[in-house]
Structure 1
């Protein structure tokens, strides 16, 4: 029997690569004769570079860039990051420079995406003709202004001081930033299709998880609308412009294109081909809930499995949907670490618990 293992990260506990390896160990414990193929996945958020490196190989370039905290604020002003170079393409993970794990989910309006701009600049300097930026997991809501500033854009307000400092922005000169990326194809890989501002924009949809209360969400949303008026209001309405606190918008302003992050990774790792040769597809993530249907890895993997007429089951830290909803999301089964082993073990020993859960699942699904 051939088993395809294609999980996302288990946020806060396991990377996608670690999760895939843990599932394989557990499955082989019960069914050592089965062939297990690993295809760890990402939707553009944390783990984007690791997942692609595991599947594509390529060269990793270690760099140090500005973190989300402004100079003088609490926190490190420089953070380590890694570029993946594969042929003429560079893959960049925005969360490495402005991720919510670097901000603690607080004061998102004060944090900057300047480090992501520095990553793009490093990729161009390394000779990349195509730069793919994975968007997701950011702790920022600055409309990508910090990225633009790092590439040389100028304005009548500070662009690298967070969304709260965009108040009153009227003029933005994008010419220096566009000159840096002339001749380079920019791609924004994201799991959300939110516009920059408005009811479903970056601040109002994702601001709470970045530490913005309702009042701050309204204020920052207004500043993002001012940024749109000063640059390109039409692009601000494009799907994905609000991704990663507006980083999608900045990349669109520089001539970039937006693609679904899951689809990009799935194509890169050959997920559809793997699924056609599998007997069952296993996916997973930290919390399997209704948000999993909107561009997230499990729903994407389930759709690929369905296209190949293969069953798909999900192993998750928690399963927060019922059987009917699970099947509506394309899953033939859903199994929870917390339900099987309790919350304490699920968080204290996530790899061991996931391996044990995979062994249990193999007893049901392996030939």
Structure 2
């Protein structure tokens, strides 16, 4: 049996590569005769640069930029040349990711965290690239890209002649019940009152009003809207990674696809990687299952997305705390259990 393992990262515990390796290890322990192929993926959020570097090679550039709290952080971007066109791949989470903000500071920083560092990365990449792709996801910010726009203005960057692409991990608009503040604000530490203040601030940003209803405008706390206002093309981050990593060729040879992420929930059904992988598998009538730290998607919604079954690591090992305490060991144990059920 040929098993394709194609997960996203697992929150702040395992990178996509680490998750793929853990699942492969558990699968081999249970079913050593199966042929297991690893294809770690990303959807624009954390791991975007690492996954694309592994697939494309290219040159990784390091830059000290302004972090979400206004202090310096080290960030990277990838430059790849193909067909005479130079493309820069930027992972916004490297400059404004939630993982850069200590949990105890989030209730305060949720209203002040800045995307300025992302603008600084774009300014650096704009010097010598024809295309700039900005991966969106995993941000700790809800500033509507105000920091990004200010950084580009301060640097005097002219993006004329540069193709700008926003690679989003979600399809949410900027405002409303499914918008940046109300959907993702609480995850970044915002109280109900703070959510309403953030919503009002985003609604008042004149530059974003023409694009506020566009899918993906609410990505990364409104960073998607800022990029759209600069003329960016919105693209599925998962779809882009699918193409660049050769996922389709790997799917053609698979009998079973195993994907996964930290939390398989309703947001996973709105442009996240798990459902993109499942859709690609469904196109080939290949069964797809998911392993996740936690699973809260119902079976009907799961099936509609193309996922035949999903397995919770925390349920398998007994608790969320146990699954996080040794994330690799917990995922290996879950994969071993799943392999015994699915391997032919």
What TM-score does the superposition give when structure 2 sets the normalisation length?
Answer: 0.92
Q: What residue is the counterpart of 1:149 in the other structure? A: 150
Q: What residue is the counterpart of 2:331 in the other structure? A: 354
SS at match of 2:214: coil
The C-alpha deviation readout for 1:122-142, integer Å capped at 9, x for no partner, is 2123x2211111111111111
1:98 to 90, 96, 99: 96
Q: What residue is the counterpart of 2:174 in the other structure? A: 196
SS at match of 1:205: helix
Distance in 1 (alpha carbons) for counterparts of 2:78 and 2:225: 23
Q: What residue is the counterpart of 1:363 in the other structure? A: 340
Structure 1 residues 34 and 108, CA gap change in structure 2 (3 angstroms): same
Distance in 2 (alpha carbons) for counterparts of 1:351 and 1:8: 14
Contact kept, 8 Å, 1:39 with 1:55, in 2: the verdict is: no
1:120 to 119, 122, 142: 122
Q: What residue is the counterpart of 2:314 in the other structure? A: 338
Q: What residue is the counterpart of 1:295 in the other structure? A: 271
2:73 to 45, 57, 79: 79
Contact kept, 8 Å, 2:26 with 2:332, in 1: the verdict is: yes
Q: Which 4+ residue blocks in structure 1 deviate beyond 4 angstroms?
A: none
Distance in 2 (alpha carbons) for counterparts of 1:246 and 1:100: 14
Q: What residue is the counterpart of 1:316 in the other structure? A: 292
Structure 1 residues 251 and 153, CA gap change in structure 2 (3 angstroms): farther
How many angstroms does 1:153 deviate by?
5.6
How many angstroms does 1:209 deviate by?
1.7
Contact kept, 8 Å, 1:114 with 1:147, in 2: the verdict is: yes
Q: What residue is the counterpart of 2:195 in the other structure? A: 217
Structure 1 residues 336 and 224, CA gap change in structure 2 (3 angstroms): closer
Size of the aligned set, in residue pairs, is: 335
Contact kept, 8 Å, 1:272 with 1:308, in 2: the verdict is: no
C-alpha RMSD of matched pairs (Å): 1.8
Q: What residue is the counterpart of 2:3 in the other structure? A: 3
Contact kept, 8 Å, 1:136 with 1:243, in 2: the verdict is: yes
How many angstroms does 1:356 deviate by?
2.2
Distance in 1 (alpha carbons) for counterparts of 2:324 and 2:42: 21
Structure 1 residues 240 and 326, CA gap change in structure 2 (3 angstroms): closer
The C-alpha deviation readout for 1:27-52, integer Å capped at 9, x for no partner, is 12233332221111112111111111
How many angstroms does 1:146 deviate by?
0.6
Distance in 1 (alpha carbons) for counterparts of 2:130 and 2:74: 23
How many angstroms does 1:226 deviate by?
2.1
Structure 1 residues 117 and 303, CA gap change in structure 2 (3 angstroms): same
Distance in 2 (alpha carbons) for counterparts of 1:288 and 1:199: 20
How many angstroms does 1:193 deviate by?
2.2
How many angstroms does 1:16 deviate by?
0.8
How many angstroms does 1:190 deviate by?
0.7
SS at match of 2:111: helix
Distance in 2 (alpha carbons) for counterparts of 1:261 and 1:40: 14
How many angstroms does 1:227 deviate by?
1.3
Equivalent residues in 2 for 1:164-183, closer than 5 Å: 176-177=156-157, 179=158, 181-183=159-161
Structure 1 unaligned runs (5+)? Answer: 71-76, 155-175
Distance in 1 (alpha carbons) for counterparts of 2:173 and 2:302: 28
What TM-score does the superposition give when structure 1 sets the normalisation length?
Answer: 0.86
SS at match of 1:152: helix
Structure 2 unaligned runs (5+)? Answer: none
Distance in 2 (alpha carbons) for counterparts of 1:252 and 1:153: 19
